[in-house]
Chain A
Amino acid sequence: MSTLHTVNKSPFEKNSLASCLSYAMTGGTVLMLEDGIYGALKGTKVEAQVKSALDNVKVYVLGPDLKARGFAEDRVIDGVKVVDYAGFVDLAAENDKVQAWL
């Protein structure tokens, strides 16, 4: 059973990302979108949490939401992959279910 976890809240305002990362099972997938994209950026105080999660889960960030908020792809933590809306659909299709961390 594989799960796509989505996080759409800023990690500095809610603990959605931290909870998601602590619940996601090895081999799972996490997608950051909307205000969740701030968790995918380099140099933040949550960067270490995301980097250590990369050992167990695949982490993606939604490109259009990065761009809307003024961040180029080179600001994203190494190992976190940028996907577009079609990529989001693929991730949803590849996994057995989608779990949203609001």
Chain B
Amino acid sequence: MSGVIKNFMYLNRRAPYGTIYAWESLEVVLIGAAFDQDVSLAFVDDGVYQLVKGQQTAEIGMKNFSPTYSALGDYEVKKIFVETESLEERGLTPDDLQHLVWEDEDDDWAERDSIRFVSRAELAEIMEASDVVFSF
């Protein structure tokens, strides 16, 4: 990749299971993680539903891919932004979401929170500062 590091943001705006977007995004993120770029994920609008904990899909006959989010830290994906307005409009709180962490190798593999709760205005700034935004 000739040493050029770009900021890639994956923008997730769809609920899981009703459409394939959420699962496809996760697949692309995991593939992209192999290219040593500066990656962040943003969850806004119905995208916040992807991170709701306690998903049990046996009765709808679909794969429960929600445990995969907890593997993101192992793929050096450490910046996961969740927009607070989207949570509030949906009656959700941070407690409704999975607790995602990454391990800091510079600090004896201490666990650090991956999710940062940000306002729409803050996320707009972060998005603007990204080199590339992939929409799902």
Instruction: Determine whether B1 belongs to the interface, using a CB cutoff of 8 Å to chain A.
Output: no
| Contact (Cβ within 8 A) A38 B15 | yes
Q: For chain A, residues 31 to 54, give those with C-beta under 8 angstroms from any C-beta of chain B.
A: 34-35, 38, 41-45, 47
Contact between chains at B52 and A38 (CB < 8 Å): no
Assembly CA distance A23 to B52 (angstroms): 32
A70/B91 contact (C-beta < 8 A), A10-B15, A13-B45, A34-B17 known:
no
Q: How far is the CA of A69 from the CA of B54 in the complex (A)?
A: 8
Which residues of B in the span 82-136 have a Cβ within 8 Å of any Cβ on A?
A: 89-92, 96
Give Cα distance in the complex from A12 to B89, angstroms. Answer: 9
Q: Contacts of B62 on A, CB cut-off 8 Å?
A: 68
Q: How far is the CB of B115 from chain A (nearest CB, A)?
A: 16
Q: Mark B13-51, 1 if CB is under 8 A from A, else 0.
A: 011111100000000000000000000000001100100
A35 to B50, CA, bound (A): 12
B52, A64: Cβ atoms under 8 Å?
A: no
Task: Evaluate contact between A68 and B57: CB separation under 8 angstroms.
Answer: yes
Given A44-B90, A47-B91, CB of A12 within 8 Å of CB of B59: no
CB-contact partner of A69 in B19, B55, B89, B91, under 8 A: B55
CB <8 Å contact, A42 and B54: no
* Residue A8 is within 8 A (CB to CB) of chain B in the complex: yes
Interface residues on B, range: 20 to 34
The distance from the CB of B136 to the nearest CB of chain A, in whole angstroms, is 13
Q: Are A70 and B89 in contact (CB under 8 A)?
A: no
Task: Kindly state the separation between the CA atoms of A10 and B16 in the bound complex, as whole angstroms.
Answer: 11
Set of chain B residues within 8 Å of A85, measured between Cβ atoms = 59
CB <8 Å contact, A67 and B89: no
A70 to chain B, nearest CB (A): 4
Q: How far is the CB of B79 from chain A (nearest CB, A)?
A: 23
Report which of B14, B46, B60, B90 forms a contact with A65, defined as CB distance below 8 A: B60
Chain B residue with Cβ nearest A77: B91
Q: Which B residues form the contact surface with A (CB < 8 A)? A: 14-19, 45-46, 49, 52-57, 59-60, 62, 64, 66, 89-92, 96
Additional A-B contact list (9), CB under 8 Å, known A35-B18, A35-B46: A12-B89, A43-B90, A43-B91, A68-B55, A68-B64, A70-B52, A70-B54, A70-B66, A72-B54
